């Protein structure tokens, strides 16, 4: 935009333009008061022969209702009145300064069209003032005519001062289809409204004329409250009427305002312009003749000029309508792009993203999306999906390629030279869908954003023009859709990778923990083996000597002490053996064993163990229950599994069961999973005890009771059988311990089956 100094220079150039004659200025001065001297006005006009001739010519050619010809200035004043003479005089003066010069090639404004538009606005403003003489928009007809005639005079001033620059202004307004004032400010730094006011001030024109030239393009609701605001509103409305009917040349290429709304905002009825055109055209013809704009020998010439202008208006309106449709397409595209991008932030899966894109395609095309094909990355299989009404996406199946990796979906459907392969792929998609969707006759939208995912959507051909038919709009939409799909795919991949990393981390932690346990157990086993070897002889000596003491002290009070030494030596020997067994690999010696016999034998062994330890057996209420599908025979290590069952029954008895102990055995469905469950309704365990129940040497019992190796050893035995030991318990409710063995762990044919 030009600088402020440049703008100031232009305004100074406007000040240097020729001014209206001294006689005209003096007439304006005299007639501007309410007590004007008519004789002075007549003498002043008659003192300028050229001005007198033009004024009389204007009066004779205009439609003046009189039976007598206007031959003198005095008669013109008497017939027309001072104010109309004043307006006519000023019209003649201004027109003489900016005449129509068709042979002047330096001018770029259509001068005849300019003055025709000015006369059209003047006549329309005059008619509005006559039709609505009171109310918000009341104005004097003669003042409205004069202001309408001069409202665009700033355009001529700018064109005279800077003809080459103004030619550029006109070109920008035409090619960009914008308002002329907008182009003027861009090129010159000043518009014709400001230039017109400056010219009117320089000439000393009435304030009403100055303000109309300056403010007539403003929103009528934003106009200031001035004595001549009604005139200003009348000219604003008249200009809209003239532009709507393409009356004359304006240089404006922006569409005119909606006439009924503008009339209403100016204080007129919406229908104020209805039925005005015929009378308006008659007045324009008369006034144009008065100024010498029409051909007196061909009175229909002006009408033909307006007819041509209306044809141009029709073309212009058609162009505006096309541009409006294009603008609507752009607006719809931007709305859909915004919607897709907003939703893309909340997408957590590619299936959700495919649904969002399908709905967006349906929105911009107005047609239904029937199916979609998705390839998460190059080389991966093609996923075929069915698209329901509303954009719901459901998987229909996958297509595995005979060639690995799978072909690139994006390459096939986005390259013209791949049409044959695209047809073959479409046929394969239709087979997967298995319905009557005619994929071959549908339009495709292919998205291949790069090295990542690719998708193809099949939709009904649209019945109207859509954004997909415009290359730039289609490119923008496809970029937004691809971004949504890529973002969802990456998010899904990140979640999957996070899960895999988390799972791998857990496996590593478990492996490290198990390795540490194995290393610890191996170390303990080595120490225990050495300790057992070193302690075996002393324990044997202690046990032997204690037996001799028992024999020697039989019948004395010290015999019991000797017996306790024997039990302590035996306990120490068993403890060392248990630790050794816990810390060394268990070697299984499988054989067939009857399940019921194993369980009953375990109950007997548990009772014996409790009796040796001197406690209440609590095993009188053991109930063994085998389901109908439970196997009769197990192929396991009988001794090891018997020890585990004995340990579980012993622990259950020591939990002080209220009503008894239950042993339940069954198979899970057709999987062959065997569950051997020992339950009691005794004391139960706290969460802390439950968490450490299988840890070696951990026991919630009082000091001096069992060492806490039983469950740990039982767990090792079950794991050696490729099973798991599961515990659940709660205080005061009881405990359930389950040995779970898959079919491959207990069935002979499965155990002995050769590895694949």
Task: Please provide the DSSP assignment of 192-244 as one string.
Answer: HHHHHHHHHHHHT--HHHHHHHHHTTS-GGG----TTHHHHHHHHHHHHHHHH
Please tell me the number of Cα atoms within 13 Å of 678 on its side-chain side: 27
DSSP H stretches of helix in 392-445? 409-414, 419-433
SS3 666: strand
Distance CA 530, CA 506 (A): 35
296, two tokens: 């007196």
Domain residue extents for the chain? 4-299, 347-469, 497-566, 586-751
Beta bridge partners of residue 675, listed in sequence order? 666, 740
Distance CA 719, CA 360 (A): 56
Nearest to 626 by CA among 578, 669, 584, 675: 675
Longest dimension (CA), the chain: 174
Contact predicate 729/677, CB 8 Å: no
Radius of gyration of the chain (CA): 53
User: What values do phi and psi take at 349, rounded to 5?
Assistant: -150, 155
Distance CA 491, CA 457 (A): 22
Whole-prediction pTM: 0.46
Task: Specify the pLDDT at position 595.
Answer: 92
Please tell me the number of Cα atoms within 13 Å of 603 on its side-chain side: 17
User: Cis omega before residue 199 (within 30°)?
Assistant: no
SS3 447: strand
Other CB atoms within 10 Å distance of the CB of residue 206: 19
CA 430 to chain centre: 31
User: What values do phi and psi take at 301, rounded to 5?
Assistant: -65, -40
Q: What are the residues whose beta carbons fall under 8 Å from the beta carbon of 334, sequence distance 6 or more?
A: none
Nearest to 208 by CA among 233, 185, 187: 233
232, two tokens: 């200003």
Contact predicate 23/44, CB 8 Å: yes
Could you write out the three-class secondary structure of 717-754?
HHHHCCEEEEEEEECCCEEEEEEEECHHHHCHHHHCCC
Q: What are the residues whose beta carbons fall under 8 Å from the beta carbon of 155, sequence distance 6 or more?
A: 109, 114, 180, 192, 195, 196, 251
Residue with tokens 């869908």: 433
Other CB atoms within 10 Å distance of the CB of residue 608: 13
Q: Kindly give the parts of the chain with pLDDT less than 50.
A: 63-65, 67, 295-298, 417, 702-705, 755-756
Other CB atoms within 10 Å distance of the CB of residue 195: 26
How do residues 35-55 score in pLDDT, each as one tens digit?
Answer: 667 777 777 777 767 667 766
User: What values do phi and psi take at 409, rounded to 5?
Assistant: -60, -40
Contact predicate 264/249, CB 8 Å: no
Distance CA 746, CA 441 (A): 60
158, two tokens: 């700018």
Distance CA 123, CA 137 (A): 16
592, two tokens: 């067939």
Distance CA 684, CA 718 (A): 22
Contact predicate 97/115, CB 8 Å: no
Task: Specify the pLDDT at position 704.
Answer: 38
Distance CA 191, CA 101 (A): 24
Task: Specify the pLDDT at position 702.
Answer: 46
- Tell me the CA end-to-end span of the chain in Å, nearest whole number: 84
Residue with tokens 């914008």: 178
User: What values do phi and psi take at 393, rounded to 5?
Assistant: -115, 125
Nearest to 485 by CA among 517, 446, 526, 518: 446
Thinking of the domain 4-299, which architecture would CATH place it in? Orthogonal Bundle (1.10)
Thinking of the domain 586-751, which architecture would CATH place it in? 2-Layer Sandwich (3.30)
Task: Specify the pLDDT at position 106.
Answer: 58
Helix and strand totals (H; E) in the chain? 28, 12
Distance CA 645, CA 633 (A): 16
Nearest to 313 by CA among 207, 241, 405: 241
The helix (run of H) or strand (run of E) holding residue 596 is helix 595-612
SS3 507: helix
User: What values do phi and psi take at 159, rounded to 5?
Assistant: -65, -35
């Amino acid at each position: 935009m030009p600088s402020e100094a440049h703008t100031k220079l232009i305004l100074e150039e406007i000040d240097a333009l020729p001014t209206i004659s001294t006689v005209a200025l003096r007439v304006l001065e005299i007639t501007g008061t309410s007590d004007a001297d008519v004789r002075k006005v007549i003498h002043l006009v008659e003192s300028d022969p050229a001005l007198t001739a033009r004024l009389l010519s204007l009066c004779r050619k205009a439609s003046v209702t009189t039976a007598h010809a206007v031959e003198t200035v005095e008669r013109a004043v008497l017939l027309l009145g001072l104010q109309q003479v004043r307006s006519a005089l000023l019209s003649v003066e201004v027109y003489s300064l900016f005449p129509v010069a068709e042979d002047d090639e330096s001018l770029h404004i259509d001068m005849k069209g300019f003055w025709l538009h000015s006369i059209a606005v003047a006549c329309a403003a005059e008619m509005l003032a006559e039709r609505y003489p009171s109310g918000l928009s009341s104005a004097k007809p003669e003042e409205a005519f004069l202001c309408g005639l001069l409202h665009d005079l700033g355009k001529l001033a700018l064109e005279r001062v800077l003809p080459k620059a103004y030619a550029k202004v006109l070109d920008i307004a035409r090619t960009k289809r914008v308002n002329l004032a907008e182009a003027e400010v861009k090129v010159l730094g000043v518009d014709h409204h400001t230039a017109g006011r400056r010219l009117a001030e320089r000439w000393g024109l009435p304030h009403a004329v100055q303000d109309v030239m300056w403010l007539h393009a403003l929103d009528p609701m934003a106009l200031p409250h001035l004595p001549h605001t009604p005139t200003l509103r009348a000219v604003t409305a008249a200009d809209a009427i003239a532009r709507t009917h393409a009356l004359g040349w304006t240089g404006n290429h922006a569409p005119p305002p909606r006439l009924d709304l503008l009339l209403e905002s100016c204080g007129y009825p919406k229908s104020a312009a209805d039925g005005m055109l015929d009378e308006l055209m008659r007045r324009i013809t008369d006034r144009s003749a008065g100024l010498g704009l029409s051909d007196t020998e061909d009175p229909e010439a002006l009408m033909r000029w307006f007819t041509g202008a209306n044809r141009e208006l029709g073309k212009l309106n058609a162009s505006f309508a096309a541009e409006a449709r294009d603008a609507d397409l752009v607006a719809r595209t931007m709305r859909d792009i915004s919607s897709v991008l907003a939703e893309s932030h909340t997408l957590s899966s590619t299936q959700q993203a495919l649904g969002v894109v399908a709905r967006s395609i349906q929105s911009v095309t107005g047609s239904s999306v029937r199916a979609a094909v998705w390839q998460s990355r190059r080389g991966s299989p093609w996923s075929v999906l069915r698209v329901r009404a509303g954009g719901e996406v459901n998987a229909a199946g996958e297509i595995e390629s005979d060639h690995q990796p799978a072909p690139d979906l994006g390459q096939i459907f986005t390259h013209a030279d791949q049409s044959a392969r695209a047809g073959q792929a479409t046929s394969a998609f239709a087979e997967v869908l298995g319905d009557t969707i005619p994929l071959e006759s549908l339009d495709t939208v292919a998205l291949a954003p790069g090295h990542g995912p690719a998708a193809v959507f099949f939709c009904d051909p649209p019945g109207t023009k859509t954004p997909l038919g415009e290359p730039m709009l289609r490119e923008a939409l496809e970029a937004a859709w691809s971004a949504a799909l890529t973002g969802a795919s990456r998010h899904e991949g990140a979640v999957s990778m996070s899960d895999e990393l988390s799972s791998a981390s857990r496996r590593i932690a478990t492996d490290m923990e198990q390795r540490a346990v194995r290393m610890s157990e191996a170390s303990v086993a080595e120490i225990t083996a050495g300790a057992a070897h070193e302690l075996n002889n002393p324990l044997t000596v202690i046990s032997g000597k204690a037996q001799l003491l028992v024999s020697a002290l039989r019948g004395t009070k010290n015999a019991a002490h000797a017996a306790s030494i024997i039990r302590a030596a035996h306990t120490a020997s068993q403890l060392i053996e248990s630790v050794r067994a816990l810390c060394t690999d268990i070697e299984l010696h499988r054989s067939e064993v009857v399940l019921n016999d194993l369980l009953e034998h375990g109950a007997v062994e548990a009772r014996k163990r409790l009796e040796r330890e001197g406690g209440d057996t609590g095993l009188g209420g053991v109930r063994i229950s085998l389901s109908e599908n439970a196997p009769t025979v197990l192929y396991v290590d009988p001794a090891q599994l018997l020890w585990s069952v004995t340990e579980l029954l012993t622990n259950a008895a020591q939990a002080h069961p209220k009503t008894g102990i239950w042993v339940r055995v069954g198979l899970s469905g057709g999987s062959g999973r065997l569950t051997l469950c020992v339950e009691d309704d005794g004391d139960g365990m706290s969460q802390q005890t439950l968490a450490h129940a299988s840890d070696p040497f951990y026991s919630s019992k009082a000091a001096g009771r069992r060492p806490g190796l039983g469950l740990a050893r039982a767990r090792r035995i079950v794991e050696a059988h490729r099973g798991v030991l599961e515990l659940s318990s709660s205080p005061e409710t009881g405990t359930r311990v389950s040995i779970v063995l898959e079919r491959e762990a207990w069935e002979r044919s499965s155990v002995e089956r050769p590895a694949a």
